[in-house]
Structure 1
Amino acid sequence: MGASLSALGTNGTNIGPGLGDIPESCVACVFLYLTPPEICNLARLNRAFRGAASADSVWEAKLPPNYQHLLDLMPPERILQEVWLDRVTGKVCMSISAKATAITGIDDRRYWNWIPTKESRFQTVAYLQQIWWFEVDGDVKFPFPADVYTVCFRLHLGKFSRRLGRRVCNYEHTHGWDIKPVKFELSTSDGQEASGEHCLDETECVDAYGNHKRGCWVNYKVGEFVVSGIEPTTEVRFSMKQIDCTHSKGGLCVDSVFIIPSNLKER
């Protein structure tokens, strides 16, 4: 009945089959080649498309091959680490809180403080007031699916807060980051290594729009590593340090470490 009505024009003439006449199984086969956002948009067209978009076979194809193993590893609450799938590609992404890393002097309030903020997915960031030996180390062991991954530290120069509904930054303690660069390093359990250096504070603009590194969150790339999928899990160790004790440095917020597929970072 529905198929017959969909084939009639406004004046009762036969105009042939429409989208509503396509079998759900055929629509589901097409959905296998689309991204999750595209599938959700098409699901609003009619009942057949909505039914195809609800098929488990469609969404299982968008998940990582080891998704069941990933679910088994996830406890109900992840306070210091979060894992999610990219909404377009379904690839695995990870974020690790600063609280899950080893920070030199973190227990001494003369050097570091924990600041609550909604600007972090973990609701807390580490704020450095002043120190001579700056070092942050961390590691994670996880069954990353086969891919190329990028490791980044998320940092912010200056102490930020909200006053009268507006975001303000204080650079009272910000110093020492323009003298020498910070060294970033990573290594993996299968012997891969990468390193780089970044100057965290620069007087020159960092892009054509006149934005400076102060007062905004910046992702500093540590390096890349490749997961072949041969080993069940991959251990990644990462660090950043500036241990030249000839000068102090301070006024830096450390939020988290991101591990994401490299092609997502480029996008």
Structure 2
Amino acid sequence: MHPPAVSLTFSVFNKLKMAVESCIIGGLPEDCIANALSLTTPKDACRLSTVASTFRSAAQSDAVWERFLPSDYRDIISRSIDDSDSLLRRFQSRKDLYLHLSDHPILIDAGLKSFKLEKWSGKKCYMLAARDLEIVWGDTSQYWQWIPHPESRFSEVAELLDVCWFEIHGYINTKMLSSNTIYAAYLVFTNKSRMYGFDYHPVEACVGIKGHEMVKRTVCLDPEGAQRRRYQVVPRRRPGSLFNRLWHVQRQQDDVAMEGSTELLRSREDGWMEVELGEYLVEEGEDDLDMSVMEVKGGNWKSGLIIQGIEIRPKKCI
């Protein structure tokens, strides 16, 4: 297991630069500098490569980037659906391999997961394909269908046709993730033009250890749902009636939930949308992380979502 990386602050970086310029550090052997760089982060190693030629040469060495790669990277690459030996031969430089894995997710585990590195930290990132998720009624053609999608990294996605009970779970063992890191899970999806059932009903999301109590949050899967809700037509009732008072109280409560959750919905660079389901601090140990999203209380039918998968990536290092 690699020792924890040390991130350099701006002031420390400037002090190192001054020390090099005054020849205090610049005269050290390159392997000593390389060993010091390997104890920082990929981001800091790239910054320090601009300090002096000895740092630039050391920052290119395999000894540095071997430490930045996960200790089990060979095992992960061996699970690729492509020729893993070819990948290792193509990128004999560990820095080139690192940069490739941070820019190009590889499909592993029979194409049911993708793996990549967070570029500036080297932390592991995964996406579980829709086929790797537990989707209630997912194998019933009346409710869901499995189709290819030109913009998906996986061979097929799950299209929601029509369900009343909407429930999806994804599971990953925390041993697969980088330790001492706060991870967030995101549902990655898009929607068809004919989408309904999610506009007036926030969806419940949870992230936590399987079988244990988890913190719940509400999220919105309809990009325009909150806005449409503001213009909802109110049924006519006698002014001041109990119905009106109860209706407005319920609407205010729902609006708070909707407005708080719609901030979590965002567009991705790859053209898909994502919504954060929750976060979890990964420490030492081995547990099954359960990431879920469901709407089973509204009693309304829902349609129009296209699910690519659930992505798990670092949110913050500690």
Q: TM-score, normalised by structure 1?
A: 0.69
Look up the equivalent residue of 1:243 and give its one-letter code. Answer: V
**Matched residue of 1:156: which SS?**
strand
* Cα displacement string for residues 121-146 of structure 1 (whole angstroms, at most 9, x for unaligned residues): 22422111211111112212241222
Match of 2:131 in 1: 99
**Aligned CA distance change for structure 1 residues 28 and 239 (closer, same or farther; 3 Å):** same
Look up the equivalent residue of 1:72 and give its one-letter code. Answer: D
> 2:193 aligned with 1:156, yes or no?
no
**What's the C-alpha RMSD, in Å, of the aligned pairs?**
3.6
> 2:136 aligned with 1:83, yes or no?
no
Taking the aligned partners of 1:190 and 1:135, their CA distance within structure 2 comes to 16
**Aligned CA distance change for structure 1 residues 33 and 46 (closer, same or farther; 3 Å):** same
- In percent, how many aligned pairs have the same letter? 28
Taking the aligned partners of 2:42 and 2:183, their CA distance within structure 1 comes to 22
Match of 1:224 in 2: 279
* Cα displacement string for residues 175-229 of structure 1 (whole angstroms, at most 9, x for unaligned residues): 11112111112221594622211122225299xxxxx979963221111111221
Taking the aligned partners of 1:122 and 1:150, their CA distance within structure 2 comes to 21
Q: What is the 5 A alignment of 1:230-249?
A: 231=285, 233-244=286-297, 246-249=299-302
Contact 1:194 1:222 in 2 (8 A): no
Contact 2:35 2:63 in 1 (8 A): no
Shift of 1:85: 1.8
Structure 1 unmatched ranges of 5 or more? 1-16, 159-170, 207-211
Q: What is the 5 A alignment of 1:1-267?
A: 24-25=30-31, 27-29=33-35, 31-32=37-38, 35-36=41-42, 39=45, 51-64=57-70, 67-68=71-72, 71-72=74-75, 75-77=79-81, 78=108, 79-143=111-175, 144=177, 145-158=179-192, 171-172=193-194, 174-188=195-209, 191=212, 193-201=214-222, 202-204=225-227, 217-229=272-284, 231=285, 233-244=286-297, 246-263=299-316
Taking the aligned partners of 1:116 and 1:123, their CA distance within structure 2 comes to 6
Contact 1:227 1:234 in 2 (8 A): no
Please identify which structure carries the higher helix content: 2
Between 35-44 and 89-98, the greater mean CA deviation after superposition: 35-44
Structure 2 unmatched ranges of 5 or more? 1-22, 82-107, 229-258, 260-264
Taking the aligned partners of 2:182 and 2:44, their CA distance within structure 1 comes to 25
**Matched residue of 2:141: which SS?**
coil
Aligned residues: 226
Please identify which structure carries the higher strand content: 1
Taking the aligned partners of 1:153 and 1:92, their CA distance within structure 2 comes to 17
Contact 1:152 1:219 in 2 (8 A): yes
